[in-house]
A and B are shown apart, each in its own frame.
Chain A
Amino acid sequence: MSQDHEPVAHPPSLFRLGAIALEIGLTSFGVSPLPLFLQALVFKRGWLKESDFLIGSGLAQLLPGPITGNLAVFLGQRLLGLLGAVITLLALVTPGLLLTLILCPIYTQAVTLPIVAKLIHGMTLGMASILFGMVLRLLSKCRPTWQNWLLIGLTIVPILLFDQPAIVVVLPVLLLATWGYRWRWIT
């Protein structure tokens, strides 16, 4: 995939990175931290490249554990090292954690109302749309070659159409692709 080697803007201060992550932690729903981090750190401020973000979101999905938490660690670490990772993760998770703690003695019963199921149904539709839209934005920036398209397809088709476990599909594709990039068969 086209690697733009243009210089990346100066890294942020710890405070600014924390403030951005806190804003996302306070306002985002579902998987929206992904597009929000992409917008804030890559498109808006240029602190990271699209390919950096994609390496992070790929790792976050391939490693075990919560995807958004893992992504926060990757982004923080890439920008400002260990302290960056700690601050980004804490800022993302703490608001939701505190709010859940406040609400769970009172509101656990309320979520059985049918209206909540409708709300979550609508949210899920929105999250699917945003993820598709985010992929379109990334694709139009990254300009994939035909080999890249092949790798993308080899990842999607077995998992989505044939219900194969992600890790079983991804490992061979990852090995093949690493081999290919290493010997420059893939560009």
Chain B
Amino acid sequence: MDNLKTLLEIFWSFLQVSLTSLGGGGAILLESQRQAVTLHHWVTPSEFNEAVTLGQLMPGSSGGLGVVVIGYQAGGWLGGIIAAIGLYLPAAILTGLVTHLSQRWQHSSWMDALQQAIVPISLGLLVVMAGLFSKTAISHWQEGGLVLIVAWAYWRWHLNPILIILATASLGFWLPFAASP
């Protein structure tokens, strides 16, 4: 029974993370930390950081996979799966509903205007995301130059994004100024 209670707590905690974290990765981290470290003491702050780091190295939707480690620490294998369901499912249902409504009312002139309005804002938000990554990662002008050159190369030659990330990740080993995270 204790086990069931823990699983329910895991689900409820990450459901709250799912529905309150606006803006993706950073917000998910903050709210997960509050739930897992401060409120429930499932992991210590350093275990939390390890969980997030392991999540970042995983393929696919890596922004959220750190919660699997936390769920595992709190409630075993099932806890890990429940944590992922709690994080992904509520947001997915909300996104699905909004998408469905946008299709249903696609012939309304207001919905058409709203969808057109999202396009430039979405471009702006992509630049913001890129800018925030740059702010955290660029600690030296050479790294800024690297980002500009790689961005230009990706634009011109449509290189494979996975190969680019593997290449810059291995550059992280070699370049001395890339030491500080």
Contacts and interface: CB of A to CB of B under 8 A. Distances in A.
Interface of A: 1, 3, 24-36, 39, 43, 51, 54-70, 72-74, 77-78, 82, 85, 89, 92-97, 99-101, 103-105, 107-109, 111-112, 114-140, 142, 144, 148-149, 151-156, 159-160, 166-167, 170, 173-174, 177-182, 186
B57 A64 contact: no
Contacts of B91: 63-66, 69-70
A82 to B, nearest CB: 7
Given A29-B165, A97-B84, A123-B169, A155 B128 contact: yes
A100 B129 CA distance: 25
B99 A29 contact: no
Contacts of B147: 125, 128-129, 132
Contacts of A166: 22-23, 125, 128
A118 B59 contact: no
State the main secondary structure of chain B at its contact with A: helix
B173 A137 contact: no
A53 B6 CA distance: 39
Interface in B8-53: 18-25, 27-28, 46-47, 50-51, 53
Given A112-B50, A129-B151, A133-B152, A152 B59 contact: no
20 contacts: A25-B60, A27-B162, A28-B60, A34-B126, A55-B102, A62-B22, A73-B96, A96-B60, A96-B62, A100-B80, A101-B81, A104-B68, A104-B72, A104-B80, A108-B47, A108-B54, A120-B169, A126-B169, A149-B120, A186-B116
A178 B61 contact: no
Interface in B110-149: 110, 112-134, 136-138, 143, 146-148
A111 B54 contact: yes
B68 A97 contact: yes
A116 B65 contact: no
Nearest to A35: B161
A127 B133 CA distance: 7
Contacts of A109: 50
